[in-house]
Amino acid sequence: MDNKEEMPLGFSFSLAMDEKAMDRFAAMSEAEKNRVIGQARSVQSKAEMEQLVAGIGKDADKGMTAR
């Protein structure tokens, strides 16, 4: 990933705390990862970031991508 695609630090930390979300993120296509990283860049609070990451983990249970 180049700087444009670099993960926000808060997203990286939140992802590291949620094994399901981390596994799901790792399995995503580059396009899916870029979309989620874009969503993470627009997050305004820690609670929003945790909600985004939790959604990735929940979607792992359903076999779907984050919204």
**pLDDT grade, residue 67 (50/70/90)?**
very low
Whole domain around residue 47: which residue ranges? Answer: 3-62
Closest CA to 27 of 40, 17, 36: 36
Phi/psi at 38 (5° precision) = -60, -40
Rounded mean pLDDT, 14-30: 96
Structural domain count, the chain: 1
In a domain, 18, yes or no: yes
In a domain, 67, yes or no: no
| Radius of gyration of the chain, Cα coordinates, nearest whole angstrom | 11
| Tens-digit pLDDT profile for residues 38-61 | 999 999 999 999 999 999 998 766
In a domain, 34, yes or no: yes
Rounded mean pLDDT, 19-44: 96
**pLDDT higher than 90, residue 62:** no
Residues 6+ apart with CB under 8 A from 47: none
Better pLDDT: 65 or 45: 45
Q: How much is the pLDDT for 23? A: 96
In a domain, 35, yes or no: yes
